[in-house]
């Protein structure tokens, strides 16, 4: 989750607990890792939490390792968030399920649609919601030398917003359930810290319930080694949400955590959005690594207007702490300067893209 605005200071890493609990092929296998964190922001006051990751030995040597991420955080303002992200490889790696579950009770800012040039919110509101997403990525019938997966995705949310009666229907509480399909080309050398290869996906999901709409998403990434163990990562993320009553949280735009770090989720959102990302990554020493990144965003109600709208940008750097060195899985803290004047920090697991 992105923390914004941040005016004082950030404490990211206070403890690393990585314990070895079993062996695989006479090599130590790390069973789990834990990391507490803390921060202070004007938005949340004191924020505290912890991440916990479980790792599962594969059935056969050479298969991908499954894991489960847990992130819990709270604030002295009574806000709470719990995230659970199973990343499962099953049936000899022919089935991949990178699922996600969120339980939130948080205070948010209500922004106008579109690429506005400032961070002034219309209002603030409290929201309690449960969100789930389960993709089933498969490669049955595909030759092993072809990095192609196909599948289906299920997604749903139930939300209770504390808003006034005169707010638009899409801002009100309710639920939606959706299903769709996806296609993936994945030739990365590592899921958690890729240094070479590529990734491309297309996804379309149709939703019903209190809201009726559908989304289309394109995600393209390129990774390449440069020099002195430094690698470059390039990304393009584009999404459109179409329908008569697209809910507030499903508009196209930055999430503040993985797509355009350092802003509050919901700002500059519209029915169309495109986000470009570039990042330089380098291991440093022991379990630490560092990154330098830049991001740009445009959003609009129609595709024909998308590239005519104001470009928002963010530049920054981040620190990485390896929770599992063999899997190259990191906890991350990113500090960014948005549009040259707003400071933001993101705390999360795994890389942005």
What pLDDT digit, counting tens, does each position of 75-102 carry?
888 889 999 999 999 999 999 999 999 9
Distances (CA, A) of 225 to 193, 233, 274, 325, 353: 12, 9, 26, 19, 16
- In this prediction, residue 140 carries a pLDDT of 95
- Give the model's confidence band at 13: pLDDT under 50 very low, under 70 low, under 90 confident, else very high: very low
3-state secondary structure of 304: helix
More confident residue, 297 or 346: 297
Of the given ranges (168-177, 189-198, 261-270, 331-340), which has the lowest mean pLDDT?
168-177
Q: What is the mean pLDDT of residues 196-220?
A: 95
User: Which of 214, 220, 215 has its CA nearest to residue 201?
Assistant: 220
Q: Is the pLDDT of residue 220 over 80?
A: yes
Locate the DSSP E strands across the chain.
Answer: 2-3, 10-11, 17-24, 27-41, 45-56, 66-75, 80-90, 95-98, 100-110, 123-138, 148-162, 174-186, 197-209, 213-225, 231-243, 272-285, 288-300, 312-324, 329-338, 342-349
* 137 Cβ neighbours under 8 A, 6+ residues apart: 95, 96, 97, 98, 149, 150, 151, 182, 184
Q: Is the pLDDT of residue 123 over 80?
A: no
Q: Is the pLDDT of residue 196 over 90?
A: yes
What pLDDT digit, counting tens, does each position of 15-67 carry?
443 333 333 333 588 999 998 988 776 666 788 899 999 999 988 888 999 99
User: Which of 273, 291, 295 has its CA nearest to residue 283?
Assistant: 291
């Amino acid at each position: 989750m992105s923390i914004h605005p941040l005016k004082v200071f950030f404490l990211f890493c206070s403890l690393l607990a990585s314990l070895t609990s079993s062996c695989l092929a006479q090599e130590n296998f790390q069973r789990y890792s834990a990391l507490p964190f803390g921060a202070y922001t004007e938005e949340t006051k004191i924020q505290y939490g912890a991440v916990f990751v479980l790792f599962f030995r594969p059935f056969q040597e050479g298969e991908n390792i499954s894991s489960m991420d847990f992130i819990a955080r709270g604030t002295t303002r009574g806000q709470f968030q719990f995230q659970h992200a199973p990343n499962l490889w099953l049936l000899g790696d022919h089935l991949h399920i990178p699922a996600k579950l969120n339980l939130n009770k948080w205070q948010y800012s209500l922004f106008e649609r579109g690429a506005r040039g400032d961070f002034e919110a219309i209002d603030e509101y409290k929201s309690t919601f449960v969100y789930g997403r389960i993709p089933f990525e498969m490669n049955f019938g595909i030759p092993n030398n072809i990095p192609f997966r196909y599948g289906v995705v299920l997604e749903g949310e139930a939300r209770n917003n504390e808003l006034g009666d005169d707010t638009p229907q899409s801002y009100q509480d309710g639920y939606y359930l959706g299903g769709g399909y996806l296609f993936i080309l994945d030739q990365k050398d590592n899921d958690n810290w890729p240094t070479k290869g590529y990734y491309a996906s297309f996804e379309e999901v149709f939703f019903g319930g209190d809201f009726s709409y559908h989304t289309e998403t394109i995600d393209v990434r390129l990774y390449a080694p440069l020099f002195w163990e430094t690698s470059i990562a390039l990304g393009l993320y584009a999404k459109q949400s179409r329908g008569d009553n697209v809910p507030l949280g499903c508009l196209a735009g930055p999430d503040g955590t993985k797509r355009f770090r350092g802003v509050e989720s919901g700002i500059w959102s519209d029915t169309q959005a495109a986000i470009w990302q570039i990042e330089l990554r380098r291991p440093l020493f022991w379990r630490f690594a560092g990154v330098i990144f830049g991001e740009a965003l445009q959003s609009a109600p129609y595709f024909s207007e998308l590239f005519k709208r104001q470009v928002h940008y963010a530049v920054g750097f981040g620190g990485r702490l390896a929770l599992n060195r063999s899997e190259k899985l990191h906890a991350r803290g990113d500090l960014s300067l948005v549009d040259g004047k707003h400071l933001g920090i993101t705390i999360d697991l795994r890389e942005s893209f």
